[in-house]
Amino acid sequence: MIYGKNFFLTAILSFLFAVCFENATGQEALRRMTDNPVLKKESRDGFCNMKSSTSLTLPFFDDFTVDDIYPDNNKWTDNDAYVNNDFAKSPVSYGVATLDAVNSKGNIHSHLYPNIRAVSDYLTSQPVRLDSIFGSENRKLHASDSIYLSFFFQPNNWDENFVHDEGVPGDSLVLEFYSSSEDTWLNVWSTPRFPFDSIKPSENKGQSFVEVIIPIVDEEKFYHKDFQFRFKNYVTLTNSSYYPGWQVNCSQWNIDYVYLDKDRRMNGFYKDICFVNEAHSFLADYYAMPYKQYSANPIEEMLEYDTVTISNLDNVNNNVGYSYVVRNAAGTALTSYQGGSSVIAPFYTSGYYSNASVTPPVFPFIFPVGTSDSADFNITHIITSDLDFRQNDTVKFNQKFHNYYAYDDGTPEYTYTLESTSAAKVCVRYMLNVEDSLQAVKIFFNDIYGSDEATYTLCVWNESNMLPGTLMYEQEVTIEKDTLNARDFIMLRLDKPLYIDKVNFPFLAFYVGLEKTPYFNLALGFDVSRDASSNIYYNVLGTWTRSSYPGALMIRPLMGKTIPQQSGITSTDINPNIEIYPNPVSNGRIFVNIPEDCGECKIVIYDKLGRQCRYARIMPSSAVDVSGLPSGLYFVSVDTRKGFVTGKIIIE
């Protein structure tokens, strides 16, 4: 093993820091992320002059139910906010916009400094015409038209499992209106940071969010054709008492259900029946699993019933219909469920809709089995009503059967750490249906501080008394700090495939994980979308203990036949008419020649560890920017509707 030039200095400094940590006895802990890896993979610019030349007309509505991680640019001018369904506690409807300390590329804003309060993110509306209304009645608007802007918000400090590095009480959320007559932004509402448990649902239509309703009455300042409003948050980075110098994505706010219209009342309700949470996997235990393993025992792998969360935001009973349909990759319907029509009571009196039709049966349906390497299916849930808002009436889930197991959905909300000054281990349990080969392991590593690289031992244990038993495989691995802003799973290929058989692995159960030394800290991605804590075990004092945190540790075993040498890249249906040049690359750009009939395609560039470095959607004969990537070998995947091609490039 060849170590970097800063290895020994880093190891010593890390050890000295470690002996000062408060949790010296060694326990598992959840910490805030230092960045947003989902945004890093997409990495669009934040404020990039996306202001429309044509003003919107009333009504303005957005509950962030969009298939994107950035705000809808038809309604918003910037990309600072992170659109997601991961960070909110019981959102008003599916999807929220989160303002936090990171920019649109997923890194902490460069203008933020510890102990200095500053504006971090903006969420700015497109211009909206408040001068007139159009349609059957064309006339000017006036204060007597009862124009209100309303929204719901929530401080993202609701998770009782996480209590540290929350920012400071002086941090705040602010709403501003643009006055074209004065050419300035005016503060119309703000709130300091406060504890989540101080929210009173009885005062907010039963929600775990605070509702804000603001009348717009100043005609001189705001009744113009280019009226705008914007949210912004103030953030104060703090030095962590646990990890000195580790700045985290703190002071997060979730915004939901933004609505601007005329003829409204101060305490009005919303004519809307909506989904609240995301669609689920139809597998009982996993988000994804190998197709071979599923096909060997499909009945045992299927959920018996799913759970769908529906809310009536009105103040009266309304009729709602619910159904789902499962389609294969070609779009052919394989099964469907019709829940019929039911009367649903208001959320503020009865909570989420509770009825047998929204706990739909999954079994006896099973996904088709097969002998191919992979398969994909789409699950679509639909509600039908005759109410006003429709964009939150459909949610989808892509059921994947590839070559890996996953308890997680691919998005980490927290960093999982073992705060121990001695050696410690952590692992995740999996169980096969038939004997198979473990070829590699994908692990989501989070950066903490300081280290240019860290060395761990990749381990596989068999099972003894429902706990990790005999160590069956170990391999030293060195993880380099992410210098490419490419945060993703890192593939660790086993030096020699490990065959999981019934002789060495009773019941075909195995545990895969890492052992750390006293000199390095461990920081792994942790997903809270599904509770797999019964399969997570850690050992810091010589005894294996089940994790106390509900969620999934992002460790994924890759099974089956030998994985191609291009880490993270699969090569099928090679199209010889696709050209990638120049190679080597010296000018910071590569060109991709694609046949015209391929249309738009996707290009992904990986480093030698299988980490995604660049992602782009391109048209034929397009250039891709690779400037800023360190010199070395990279792998390129070009995905078209006629298959995909992979190759290698060298950046000089």
Q: How far apart are CA 75 and CA 56, in angstroms?
A: 8
Residue type at position 243: Y
Helix (DSSP H) and strand (DSSP E) numbers for the chain: 6, 38
Kind and range of the H or E run holding 92: none
Residue 643's pLDDT band (cuts 50, 70, 90): low
234 and 116 Cβ atoms separated by less than 8 Å: no
Q: Which fold has domain 273-401?
A: Immunoglobulin-like (2.60.40)
What are 194's two structure tokens? 């406060």
E strand spans, 465-621: 467-480, 490-500, 509-516, 523-527, 536-539, 545-546, 552-553, 555-559, 579-581, 589-593, 601-606, 612-618
Q: How far apart are CA 340 and CA 338, in angstroms?
A: 5
Give the position of tokens 């086993």. Answer: 494
Closest CA to 391 of 308, 273, 229: 273
Q: What is the pLDDT of residues 573-615, one digit of tens each?
A: 334 456 788 888 888 888 877 776 666 777 888 877 667 788 7
% of the chain with per-residue pLDDT over 90: 57
Q: What is the pLDDT of residues 427-460, one digit of tens each?
A: 999 999 999 999 999 999 987 655 678 899 999 9
Q: What is the pLDDT of residues 134-164, one digit of tens each?
A: 877 789 999 999 999 999 999 988 776 654 4
43 and 73 Cβ atoms separated by less than 8 Å: no
CATH architecture observed for domain 7-31+413-559: Sandwich (2.60)
Residue 632's pLDDT band (cuts 50, 70, 90): confident
Rounded to the nearest angstrom, the gap between the alpha carbon of residue 647 and the centroid of all alpha carbons in its chain is: 29
Residues of the chain with CATH 2.60.40.3080: 579-651
H-assigned helices in 263-339: 291-296, 298-301
Q: What is the pLDDT of residues 385-434, one digit of tens each?
A: 988 788 899 999 999 999 999 999 999 999 999 988 788 999 999 999 99
% of the chain with per-residue pLDDT over 70: 86
* Arithmetic mean of pLDDT, 479-492: 76
Q: What is the pLDDT of residues 502-552, one digit of tens each?
A: 999 989 999 999 999 887 888 899 999 999 999 999 999 889 999 999 999
Lowest mean pLDDT among 2-16, 97-111, 137-151: 2-16
pTM: 0.82
Domain 579-651 sits in CATH at: 2.60.40.3080
User: Backbone phi, then psi, for 217, in 5-degree steps?
Assistant: -120, -15
Q: What is the pLDDT of residues 211-255, one digit of tens each?
A: 999 999 999 999 999 999 999 999 988 765 555 456 778 889 999
Question: Residue 17: what pLDDT?
Answer: 37
Rounded to the nearest angstrom, the gap between the alpha carbon of residue 292 and the centroid of all alpha carbons in its chain is: 28
User: CATH homologous superfamily for 37-261?
Assistant: Galactose-binding domain-like (2.60.120.260)
Task: Give yes or no for residue 571 having a pLDDT over 50.
Answer: no
* Arithmetic mean of pLDDT, 264-272: 91
Residue 477's pLDDT band (cuts 50, 70, 90): very high
Cβ neighbours for 622, distance < 8 A, ≥ 6 positions apart: 591, 592, 594, 616
Question: Residue 26: what pLDDT?
Answer: 57
Kind and range of the H or E run holding 39: helix 37-42
Question: Residue 626: what pLDDT?
Answer: 87
